[in-house]
Every structure is written in C-alpha cells, then in structure tokens.
Amino acid sequence: MPDQIPFVDYLVLGDQPHLVANECTSCGAHFFDRRNACASCFATEFKKVDVPTEGEVRAFTIVSMAAPGIPVPFVSATIDCQGTSVRANVINVDATPDAITLGMKVRLATYVVGSDAAGVDAIGFGFEPAA
Amino acid sequence: MASDDVWILGIKMTKFGKHPDKDVIDLAAEATMAALADGGVTMKDVQIMGFGNLMGLTAGQSLQKQVGQTGIPVYNVSNACATGATALRVAYMAIKAGEVDCGLAVGVEKLAGAGLLAGGSRGADKDTWTPSGRLGAVAPIDGRIGTETMPGVFAQIGMEYGHKYGGTSFELFAKISEKNHAHSTLNPLAAYSKRFTLEQIMGDIMISYPNTRPMCSANCDGAAAAVLVSDAKLKTLSKEQQRRAVKVSASILTTDPWEEACQVLPNVNTLTRNAAKQAYEKAGIGPEDLDLVELHDCFATAELVHYDNLMLCEQGGAADFFNSGATWRDGKTPVNVSGGLESKGHPIAATGIANVWEIAHQLRGEAGDRQIEGAKVGLAHVIGLGSACGIHVLEKSGL
C-alpha cells in the first residue's frame, strides 16, 4: 500500500517533484487534463512532457472568502513556468499584498493536503518564493 | 430603415433586489407583460420565445402557462452570465432569418442570499483518496489548486492586466466601484443605490484581494424581457411605436478561441475584443461614437479590462482612461450609468437583457434623472465564464 498519493495525476512525486503536461504532438499545446482532441489544432496524439518547476507570478489574488474547509486567507495565482501557465496556490509566504508581487520568482513545492481513512497522505503542490 | 433591420419594440426590467414574495415565474411574468405592454403588442403577436433561467433551471414553458400559451416554440438557453444576451439573440436571429417577424426574449433569476459563487469542483472530501475526473484529482481542487471563486478569478484577471500594462492598484480598482455606486443613486430599479466613499469601499470586508464586498456584483432577484420585431412589422405599427423603437445595429455572441493561458485562468479579453470588433464592423459604428456603455462589471477588476477589450481606450491604456474621468456619467464615454452589476445587481440570466433595457431607456430619452442628454448610440456587453461574450449595439430611431 502506498502511503502517499498525488493530489492530481499531473503531479509526479519522488525525489524531484514536478508537473507533467499532455503535449499535442502536432502543435505543441499543453494541457493538464485529459483531452479528446487538441483545442488548438484538433489533432488527437499527445505525449507527456515535464513542466519547468520554476516560474514567475503573472496574476494573483488573496482569497479571504472560500469554500467551507479551505483555510483562508490564501494566495491563488497564475504562474508562468517558462511558457506553460499553471494555476496554483502560492505557499510558504504571508498571504498579504505586501508579501506577493506580480513578476516574483517562484518554484514548485509540495505539502500534505490531508490523510484519508486508510492513513494515505494526499500530496498537493504549490509554488513558494524562489529567492 | 433598411428592410432587414431588427428593432426592440418593447423592453422592461423589474426592480432588482429581494423579492421573497415572488417566485421565478412571477418575476418573469412581470417583466414579460410589461415588455409586451411597452411595445403595444400581446402574446398573440409573438412567434418565438428565447428564455433563460440559469440557476433555477425553470423552462419558458412555465412562463407561457402564466402569460399565454399560444403554441409558439420556446428556446430555453443556458450560457452562464451571457444567458440573457443569448436569449435576446435567439429572437434576433429568428427575425433576421426571416422565419418570424416578432420574438420575445426573457431572462430571470432568483439569487438573493446565494452567497459566494464558484466554479465546478466543490464538495466534501471522500473517506478514501480516489483519483477522478479529467485531472485525476483525489478531492475538490477549489482552494487547493488556486481558486475557482468568482471574486478570486476576476481579481486575478484585473491583476494580470496590471502586470502586463501597469498603472493598477487596489485604490484604482476601488475607485471604479466608487463610480458605479455613485451612479446607482439615480437608478430607482437598482438593488442597491447607496453612495460609498473610497475609504468605505477599501475598508469593507475583503472577499478576494483586491475586491472588497462593494466591489463585487450583488446577488439579487430580477427579470428583464424584450419584444423584438422586423422592420416590416414595425412599419405596420403606429408612429409612436416607431419613434420609441430602438434599432439593434449589431448582435454578437462569441466564445474564447484557444490560447495557451486560457486553459488555466479564463481569458475574458480575447473573446470580448473579438465580439467588439465584429459588433463595430456590423453596426458601422466605432467606439468613439458611443454615447454610453453598459459593460459587465461583475467585479471592479473586470470593468477595467473591458475598457480596453471594448476598445474604449488605447490598448494598455485602461488605467489612464479611467483616471481621466471618461467613464463617469459626465465623462467622454459614460460606463454603467445604471450602477452596474456592483450596485444595480446581477440576477444572472436577467443581466444580458437588463443592460440592453438601460441603453434603450436612455436612447428613448426616458431615463429621467440619470438621462445622458442626446444619447443616440449605446453598447451593452456581458460575459459568462466558460466563456461566452454577448454584445448588442443599439441606435435611437431616426423618427
């Protein structure tokens, strides 16, 4: 029995956790979810590619009102990982407007989201300041 | 008048706000009967109905049972916050296609007290982590992998604009909200018509930085309805009906074309810009010709980007454009003189017809205290995430 499971299937755990995207073999578009055909060029062949673990914050918000069970405040952001856009929380940082800046350098980090009834930890990802 | 023009003959919105004593159909019926009376026609004249009730999933057939069952086709439409504009466009297209000469569009919602609205992946965690869905997620991702809350998504959209072009700040976004709340004091049909100071707006409850509570659209109840007719039908009606008719110079609906980043953060910009370009071309009208604009300020952060998307300003110049005072009601291009979604309210499916009502009301010169003097041309814009963008360009009758 594994004692860890990635929160989403595009997060690869191990010594160097990273994200993988489905890359359209025809036009190179990246998707994190399963696709029937490419939304850009309609081709149907995809291959898995690693997404760079470093990037910069292109947009963020500090969420103060969220679904029940989600701790607030937290930082939600769009990260530009060298050409691939990633949606994630910014973690290991104060959730205040002074602590986050547009364009700040960040890197992928993992954390335990929680444990299920069998004691398996779900491992999530976020991005933390790279400085 | 050209022979294939389509006209708004009658149009009404209910008061937006809390209507605990009325159900969805009461509100829809109130708007429908008022729009028919406004146009001087009855259900006997109507040959097609476009109907939208996004959250309640009520069908137009239920409305027919209360206002007149004549056997005409109903198209029940669902297109997120563009639902009302889509219903309107159904009636427009049927007339344009020559199939009918009179159509009705209705949008209605009961949302008072609905609370925080968010995208798809809400729910409780299960006892055992089990990957499911297209992301293979073991639990709802909202809040774990970014936010799906509407205030949060649109906050990021405004921040992204600031990152690209500069000039934005918490205070700037709050000032946009200050303008719309100030405008709302002149609108008796707005859900909220209270003026706020900038300090009050910035000091209110933070929902999702930089959007505080008054910078978010107000969930409320309301309905709006419009009766559209062909040019040929209008010519058979009275001079007074022809004088009050408002021309639909463009009716456009777009979705978002594929772009790299739109898979992660909805891109509300490209589809709005595409719709605006098509609308201006079809109407033969440029953004400089607009006497007023009602645009989709679901959040203060959204209004800013749409100044640019609708080409009311130079690309990248939205902050300067706002700071010039252009979008206040006494400015060069008044925006959201109704108070906008932040104060008039946002009963989702009604919004895309209610904003057309505001423009039509102004073009007819019937807007009373909030009349924009001499208004001849206006534009109404909505966007629903997913995404769908509806734009209607409207012109005053030449009579």
Cα–Cα distance, A36 to B12 (Å, whole number)? 44
Cα–Cα distance, B185 to B176 (Å, whole number)? 15
Confidence of residue B119 (pLDDT cuts 50, 70, 90): low
Q: Is residue B299 part of a domain?
A: yes
What pLDDT does A68 receive? 87
Positive or negative: CA dihedral B134, B139, B145, B149: positive
DSSP strand E in chain B: where? 6-13, 48-52, 74-77, 102-109, 206-209, 211-212, 222-230, 246-255, 292-294, 377-384, 388-396
Q: Is residue B286 part of a domain?
A: yes
What pLDDT does B160 receive? 95
Question: Residues A16-32: what's their mean pLDDT?
Answer: 96
- The whole-angstrom distance between A5's CA and the closest CA on chain B is 8
In tens, the pLDDT along B233-245 reads: 999 999 999 999 9
What pLDDT does B120 receive? 56
Q: From residue B32, give the alpha-carbon distance in Å to each of A5, A104, B251.
A: 54, 52, 21
Confidence of residue B115 (pLDDT cuts 50, 70, 90): confident
Contact B102, B228 (CB under 8 A): yes
Question: Residues B351-374: what's their mean pLDDT?
Answer: 98
> Is the pLDDT assigned to residue B250 strictly greater than 60?
yes
> Residues of chain B with pLDDT > 70: what percent?
98
In tens, the pLDDT along A44-98 reads: 999 999 999 999 999 999 999 998 889 999 999 999 999 999 999 999 999 999 9
The three-state secondary structure class of B11 is strand
- The whole-angstrom distance between B301's CA and the closest CA on chain A is 11
Cα–Cα distance, B289 to B250 (Å, whole number)? 14
> Is the pLDDT assigned to residue A1 strictly greater than 60?
no
B135 vs A contacts (CB less than 8 Å): 8-10, 32-33
Q: b or e along B158-169 (b: 16 or more beta carbons within 10 Å of the residue's beta carbon)?
A: bbbbbbebebbe
CA B251: distance to chain centroid?
13
CA angle B142, B150, B297 (to 5 degrees): 170
Across the interface, of B116, B137, B209, the residue whose CB is closest to A97 is: B209
The structure's pTM equals 0.95
Across the interface, of A7, A40, A117, the residue whose CB is closest to B127 is: A117
Average pLDDT across chain A, whole number: 95
Domain ranges of chain A: 4-129
> Is the pLDDT assigned to residue B121 strictly greater than 60?
no
Average pLDDT across chain B, whole number: 95
User: Which CATH number does the domain housing residue B332 bear?
Assistant: 3.40.47.10
What pLDDT does B122 receive? 58
> Is the pLDDT assigned to residue B311 strictly greater than 60?
yes
What is the full DSSP assignment across B150-193? HHHHHHHHHHHHHHHH----HHHHHHHHHHHHHHHTT-TTSS--
Token digits of residue B264: 């992660």
What pLDDT does B57 receive? 86
What pLDDT does B266 receive? 84
Residue B283 belongs to domain spanning: 6-113+218-396
A30 vs B contacts (CB less than 8 Å): 260, 263
